[in-house]
A = this chain, B = another copy of it.
Amino acid sequence: MSPAAGSLRIVGLGPGSEDWITPEVSHILTQATDLVGYAPYLERLTPNRGQILHKSDNRVELERARFALGLADGARRVAVVSGGDPGVFAMAAAVFEAIESGEPQWRDLDISVCPGISAMQAAAARVGAPLGHDFCAISLSDNLKPWPLVERRLRAAAEGDFVIALYNPASKARPKQIFDAFGLLRTHIGGATPVIFARAVGRPDEEIVVTTLQAADPGRADMSTLVIIGSSATRAIAREGAAPFVYTPREAGAAS
């Protein structure tokens, strides 16, 4: 790699608190010449002198990825910034999609992904260890996939008795899916199953609600919420004057 060669790092800031940004990511953020990302993520950073911030809307991921690749191809040191883990429902997939359909020389760029704490991990940590055994993560957004595929995955998750983490449960444009998802899950999963709504984890307005599948109000979920639904083995431990702990034991469930 010549000294003039550019680079592309796809980094994750974690879900909100500075305390969750890895040293790897912090170092890259100080060394980059260009920071590319959805505006609210870039606004969490204090740029160095001379660093260029390229803020974008959150609906233009592929365009943003191509722009970042073009900068790196032009010998800039580029950091593409995601919240959470860039590899989990975030920018890394968009960058590789852009590489596959883009300029041939993009495949030879110096590119790497730097993992971060994902929303489900932070949400789980706040209540105990609901992801302590087999689990799955499903995005409820049908902007880019057909809703029947979401339903197929929800059914399979219930059939496999997985703990389920739901990303992108709702937004202003998609208020209804989370109701449909809970409707489907309620026909397969016991009503006493613990459910967690974790909103804005790591931010000053963080709000965690522990409830059950039966009692849950799906309308609680918005675009800043991560929802976790337990397996048949997930347990809530009652406490006096505090929210219950929720965990999934290591010997998780019966065979059928």
Q: Which residues of A pack against B, CB within 8 Å?
A: 14, 17-24, 27, 61, 85-90, 92-97, 99-100, 107-108, 111-118, 121-122, 124-126, 128-139, 144-146, 148-149, 152-153, 155-157, 159-162, 235, 237, 239-240, 242, 245, 247-256
**Closest partner residue, chain B, to A136 (CB atom):** B136
Q: How many copies does the complex hold?
A: 2
- Within 8 Å by CB of A138, from B134, B152, B237, lies B134
A88 to B247, CA, bound (A): 11
Residues of B contacting A256 in the complex (Cβ-Cβ under 8 angstroms): 148-149, 152
Check if B100 sits within 8 Å of A237, measured CB to CB.
yes
A99 to chain B, nearest CB (A): 6
A-B contact pairs, 27 of them (CB 8 A): A19-B27, A87-B125, A88-B132, A89-B250, A90-B132, A92-B128, A93-B133, A94-B250, A96-B247, A108-B242, A113-B125, A113-B129, A115-B117, A115-B125, A116-B117, A134-B139, A144-B250, A144-B251, A145-B250, A145-B252, A145-B253, A146-B255, A148-B255, A152-B160, A152-B255, A156-B159, A157-B160
CB < 8 Å neighbour of A162 from B22, B27, B94, B156: B156
* Complex: A250 Cα to B82 Cα, angstroms: 15
Return A147 CB to nearest CB of chain B, in Å.
Answer: 8
A93-B249, A99-B237, A146-B254 are known contacts; what are 6 more A-B pairs with Cβ within 8 Å? A20-B23, A93-B129, A96-B245, A136-B136, A136-B157, A156-B159
Q: Smallest CB–CB gap between A111 and chain B, Å? A: 8
Query: In the bound complex, do residue B92 and residue A129 qualify as a contact, i.e. CB atoms below 8 Å apart?
Result: yes
Q: Which residue of chain B has its CB nearest to the CB of A19?
A: B24
Instruction: Given A152-B160, A152-B256, A250-B61, check contact A85 B146 (CB 8 Å).
Output: no
Instruction: Name the residue of chain B whose CB is nearest to the CB of A61.
Output: B250
Contact of A96 among B22, B138, B155, B237 (CB under 8 A): B237
